[in-house]
């Protein structure tokens, strides 16, 4: 983790980082160190989700930055933002994606980051 931190701080010192750079420098190494690239997990990037609200009239659509799966079970939803945005701006989006989980009786972990801040949330229905 020290290497990941040093690399991130080195590139961050050059200015603001875009979402893709945050994913490359911070998210991907954390997923690797956590074992999420190895069996039994699968990774999907930019997974499309659709969520119909209770009123039945509004449909929210989006793309999850990174989705970690074990078979059909969603393990983690990850949403990242560029460094100039507050990490809190990613929370509603990540929660909406987590609500689209096809197995609502199973726990789903979420992670949001802008690189500078890293928050982990747990949701269990």
- Helix %, strand %, coil % of the chain (to 5): 30, 35, 35
Bridge partners of 79?
112
d(C-alpha 18, C-alpha 82), whole Å: 4
Q: Is residue 120 scored above 70 in pLDDT?
A: no
Report the C-alpha gap between 114 and 40 in whole angstroms.
28
Question: Which pLDDT tens digit goes with each residue over 53-108?
Answer: 666 666 777 888 999 999 888 898 988 999 999 888 888 888 888 888 888 888 88
Domain annotation for the chain: domains and CATH numbers: 2-123 (3.90.1570.30)
């Amino acid at each position: 983790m020290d290497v990941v931190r040093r690399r991130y701080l080195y590139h961050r010192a050059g200015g603001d980082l875009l979402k893709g750079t945050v994913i490359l420098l911070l998210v991907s190494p954390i997923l690797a160190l956590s074992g999420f690239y190895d069996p039994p997990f699968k990774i999907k990037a930019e997974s499309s989700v659709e969520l119909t609200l209770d009123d039945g009239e509004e449909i929210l659509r989006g793309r999850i930055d990174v989705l970690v799966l074990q078979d059909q079970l969603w393990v983690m939803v990850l949403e990242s933002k560029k460094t100039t945005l507050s990490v809190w701006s990613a929370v509603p989006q990540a929660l909406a994606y987590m609500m689209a989980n096809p197995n609502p009786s199973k726990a789903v972990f979420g992670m949001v980051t802008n690189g500078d801040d890293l928050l982990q949330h747990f949701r269990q229905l």
